Chain A
């Protein structure tokens, strides 16, 4: 369960940044009074154009960034006050595939499992399950630096899920992937949902959102523009395509 209440995040602008975006303001508001919730057994999509504040929101949810104000709850844990407790319950996949190029897939997975204190017998089971699901067995001993983008993304997802988190936060999980790999990941998200876990993901691909989401939120310039179920969104489209409806909401 993810609960976001009136969360805002402001960043201090450097002199260079103030020159780049001509402004005299010392601070910029990346996320403005955002509220939404995501329940177990539900896939929640966070949508928005580039620079809307999606990544900042996901970084706050994963406790990398602290909100300037507001409250975030992860499975009943106050993530602002007790970030370490919250992190135990989260699996976070960053936008850029951040993996250690000089380690093999096996070494990366073992390392992250050890950081989450996953017992050896559980690790063995989880690895077998995820490696089969993601077709990773063939390249498990291969160095990350020598892997294709698809392989790296699979390792990243496996790393995100190795400790069997209650909440899965995915920042554009299928970005840059071929159709087959993307399909595997979509299947995995569905499986996770069916285990009554919470999945929140950001995406640009409307077809993917349509396929997976139970509920969605659209943000623009850090402000919530729309929130509701996917069914409601489809009803409100009034004959438009999903992309058209998304653009309408953003531009309204």
Chain B
């Protein structure tokens, strides 16, 4: 009987375009579109920023030694053009303010003499740091000419450069690429699944309970000799399946983006991500997501049963999304790790367990504890749903 109800509810759910859009289309397309947009925008931005000819206003003249040094830097480090202001600092200041020049460069008037006297010459770059890439470009220029000048001084003073370097320090990263990715990005994956799982559950949960009540179909169904708990479970299975389907589609979208659409430019990153998206990890991930989705269904159904209309249910369940996502976001913070306490916090435990799973350093006792906790809260949520569904005041409008 449960299967009969499940089959009919699923058929009806699949025929609802809005639910189908949220359950399949959006999760499936979100990653290819998002990655494509981010990669293309950032690459085209950095390309155009690198090719841009920087207009640099200088306080002196283009024949000054500093400008000659800067001009000697190859154009591959970024093209530039110098505009001489010959001491007119007010005009230089105004022109930068009005953005007729990109950067302003001040330096000491006796620049050459200071260098010849092995003194320290002052250089001031005026940069509007909201223009991304400008600071990096001039830091690069200055590193080159400063290194050249330093070498000249070593020669002039007869100093061996090596003798001024007492240590040669190497910092070796002992974490594998997989561990690094697990720590840095591992939390994002379950966070996305939680968001989509919730969204996937939401519309069927509202439609199959509050919607049925509003349309008057629940009354018809309850006059049949089917036990109420069987009706509840049949409907709940569709809600859970919709949540899992949304998560699954999000995973497929991510996998397709990485494997087939070649959207991630860094091949090392692609290899690491491919290593992570293995069948055993995906199975473990879905084993954790199953009780989580049942839990979502279990908190949405009593609300949907209690409310009198689709709109009313939607207005309560939608903000609940924030309550659910908050513990998931906690898991993204560095320093919060899976332990006996965090394993007992629903949702947070899923994020932290997935992080450890991806990083490859999972403690199976903590994994089991997280799983048991999620099963327990899911069972409580199902019980609450059953109690609410059994109340006649919640069934008849």
Contact = CB atoms under 8 A, between A and B. Distances in A.
Interface of A: 11-12, 59, 62-66, 84-85, 87-88, 90, 92, 94, 96-103, 107, 111-112, 114-116, 156, 159
Given A98-B217, A115-B4, A116-B224, 16 more contacts: A12-B393, A64-B222, A65-B396, A84-B225, A87-B224, A87-B225, A88-B225, A98-B220, A101-B215, A102-B11, A103-B11, A107-B11, A114-B4, A115-B1, A115-B5, A156-B220
B392 A96 contact: no
Given A12-B393, A101-B215, A64 B12 contact: no
Contact of A98 (B215, B392, B395): B215
The 8 closest A-B pairs by CB, nearest first: A98-B216, A96-B216, A98-B217, A102-B15, A115-B224, A92-B223, A87-B225, A98-B220
B16 interface: yes
B215 A64 contact: no
Nearest to B15: A102
Contacts of B221: 115
A98 B12 contact: no
Interface string B197-229: 000000000000000000111111111111100
A107 B215 CA distance: 18
Contacts of A114: 4
Given A98-B216, A98-B218, A99-B217, A64 B226 contact: no
B8 interface: yes
Contacts of B12: 100, 102-103
A64 B225 contact: no
A159 B220 contact: yes
Interface of B: 1, 4-5, 8, 11-12, 15-16, 215-227, 392-393, 395-396
Given A64-B219, A98-B215, A103-B12, A112 B392 contact: no
Contacts of B5: 115
Given A90-B223, A111-B8, A116-B225, A102 B396 contact: no
Nearest to A102: B15
B4 A66 contact: no
Contacts of A94: 216, 219-220, 223
B392 A65 contact: yes
Contacts of B223: 62-64, 87, 90, 92, 94
Contacts of A107: 8, 11
Contacts of A92: 220, 223
Contacts of B392: 64-66
A205 to B, nearest CB: 21
B6 to A, nearest CB: 12
Nearest to A89: B225
B269 to A, nearest CB: 44
Nearest to A85: B225
Contacts of A99: 217, 220
A112 B218 contact: no
23 contacts: A62-B223, A65-B396, A84-B225, A87-B223, A94-B219, A94-B223, A96-B216, A96-B219, A97-B216, A98-B215, A98-B216, A100-B8, A102-B16, A103-B11, A103-B15, A114-B4, A115-B1, A115-B4, A115-B5, A115-B224, A115-B225, A116-B224, A116-B225
A41 B219 CA distance: 27
